[in-house]
């Protein structure tokens, strides 16, 4: 069994001649903000619980603003990393006075495990007033153990013994130890209502890579790296990022309605220090339907994430796969990189619903599928691997819609576990 904490993210341009429409839109926007604000005192979150325990007779101050920062312990366990302890915090705030501005969010965490793994990250998704600019980025420094289950979707590919080890249809677990450093920053400019165009850079570096299971002979990482000309000890995956984003979500932490779509192109370049050139396209689409005006927390959410290598070669541990999306949240039911390939396609649907009238406890059920191309005969969409589960939500911060998510998920090959995180998977 695995117990994991996953790391943890428009201003309407109205024609001046259409003044009636402008007044209507402004009134609707202000009414929506007022409705959300008025509903907050009826909700009950962890901060309310702590206040009631510490000061049970203290009168509630409805005029006091709640902190936008939510701290929590970062506790986890799985056989690869051992027991983990650390601290984590997420924050959310609307910048500026424009009522249409989307909420900016940030998160940070520092942790250490009983096996000597150290992990620190800092991420942000910031919208300036009126959504004129959107800044997305992350910084990671870590001493890691990366579980490895081979290339592909769990079906044998190729014809040689090395191909069998590489595709690993038996799902034997390997582990790569390394130092990992990552810096990623993208800047988006709003060009139309809800539509952004962005560019940035990404530097992903692994050093002192070591497979400590040498008794098993050849491993998938070694076979792949030697076959495609990567050093076994280290690599750099550095490139330029170009993205187009469209979003109408009403909240970045936990949306009740709206759409989020992002199409990106990553071009790894040797002149930026990358070990090899490569071009990859990524797609991220999310859609939310609120099923009730009275209880908007009843939500059907859909997510599709894909990554497609167009040319060149990526280092083995940078191949797209389970849990390799921006926030490392895909594929609940499997550990990160359980499936991976040159082309990867993932979809998930989730139903979210309140359990308590004060919204303190809610629940979710979800189902996901994934497929991958291993480059050795197994094509994208040829085989699918399912996963699913259910979980509870504890409202941590009602002002930012921050939830503590406790999910039990399962997949094939006996894969299953308990997943802890702040905020929804998508």
pLDDT given for residue 300 in this prediction: 97
CA distance 249 to 234: 40
Q: Which residues contact residue 267 at a Cβ distance below 8 angstroms, ignoring those fewer than 6 apart?
A: 239, 240, 242, 277, 278, 279
Tell me how many domains the chain contains. Answer: 1
Kind plus residue range of the DSSP H or E element containing 36: helix 19-39
Q: Is the pTM of this model over 0.75?
A: yes
SS3 200: strand
* pLDDT of 22: 37
Q: What angle do CA 233, 236, 241 make, to 5 degrees?
A: 160
Position 206 scores a pLDDT of 96
Per-residue pLDDT, 216? 62
CATH number, domain containing residue 130: 2.40.160.50
Query: What is the spatial distance between Cα 347 and Cα 345, in angstroms, rounded to a whole number?
Result: 7
Give the separation between CA 365 and CA 367, rounded to whole angstroms. 7
Q: What's the token pair of residue 252? A: 């970045």
Mean pLDDT per 10-residue interval, the chain, length 426 residues: 40 34 39 49 64 62 60 64 77 86 88 85 92 93 90 91 94 90 95 94 95 74 95 96 94 91 97 97 97 92 97 96 89 91 98 92 96 94 96 86 88 86 85
Domain hosting 295: range is 2-422
Rounded to whole angstroms, the Cα distance separating 251 from 24 reads 22
- Name the DSSP letter for residue 152: B
Q: In the prediction, which pLDDT does 215 show?
A: 55
Distance of CA 365 to the CA centre of its chain: 18
Residue closest to 155 by CA, chosen among 411, 376, 318, 388: 376
Q: What is the DSSP letter of 151?
A: S
Give the closest residue to 299 by CA, choosing from 126, 127, 425: 425
183 burial via Cβ count (<10 Å: 0-12, 13-18, 19+): middle
């Amino acid at each position: 069994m695995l117990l994991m904490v996953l790391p943890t993210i428009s201003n309407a341009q109205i024609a001046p001649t259409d003044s009636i429409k402008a007044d209507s839109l402004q009134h609707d926007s202000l009414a929506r903000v007022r409705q959300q604000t008025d509903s907050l005192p009826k909700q009950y979150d962890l901060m309310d619980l702590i206040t009631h325990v510490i000061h049970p007779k203290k009168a509630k101050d409805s005029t006091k603003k709640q902190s936008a920062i939510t701290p929590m312990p970062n506790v986890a366990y799985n056989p690869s990393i051992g027991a983990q302890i650390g601290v984590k915090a997420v924050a959310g705030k609307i910048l500026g006075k424009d009522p249409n501005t989307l909420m900016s969010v940030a998160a940070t965490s520092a942790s250490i495990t009983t096996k000597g793994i150290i992990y620190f990250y800092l991420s942000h998704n910031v919208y300036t007033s009126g959504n004129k600019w959107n800044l997305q980025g992350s910084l990671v420094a870590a001493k890691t153990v990366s579980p490895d289950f081979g290339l592909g979707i769990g079906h044998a590919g190729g014809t040689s013994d090395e191909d069998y080890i590489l595709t690993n249809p038996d799902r034997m677990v390997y582990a790569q130890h390394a130092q990992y450093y990552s810096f990623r920053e993208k800047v988006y400019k709003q060009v139309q209502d809800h539509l952004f165009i962005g560019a940035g850079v990404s530097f992903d570096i692994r050093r002192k890579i070591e497979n400590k299971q040498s008794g098993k002979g050849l491993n998938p990482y070694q076979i792949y790296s030697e076959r495609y000309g990567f050093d076994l000890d280290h690599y750099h995956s550095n490139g330029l990022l170009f993205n187009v984003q469209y979003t109408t979500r009403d909240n970045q932490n936990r949306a009740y309605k709206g759409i989020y779509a992002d199409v990106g192109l990553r071009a790894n370049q040797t002149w930026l220090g990358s070990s090899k050139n490569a071009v990859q396209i990524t797609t991220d689409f999310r859609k939310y339907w609120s099923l009730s005006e009275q209880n908007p927390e009843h939500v059907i959410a859909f997510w599709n994430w894909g990554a497609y290598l167009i040319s060149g070669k990526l280092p083995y541990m940078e191949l797209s796969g389970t849990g390799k999306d921006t926030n490392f949240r895909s594929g609940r039911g499997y550990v990160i990189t359980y499936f991976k390939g040159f082309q990867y396609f993932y979809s998930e649907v989730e139903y979210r619903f309140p359990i308590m009238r004060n919204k303190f406890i809610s629940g979710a059920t979800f189902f996901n599928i994934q497929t991958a191309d291993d480059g050795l005969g197994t094509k994208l969409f040829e085989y699918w691997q399912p996963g699913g589960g259910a979980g509870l939500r504890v409202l941590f911060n009602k002002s930012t819609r921050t939830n503590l998510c406790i999910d039990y998920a399962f997949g094939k090959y006996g894969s299953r576990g308990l997943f802890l995180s702040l905020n929804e998977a998508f």
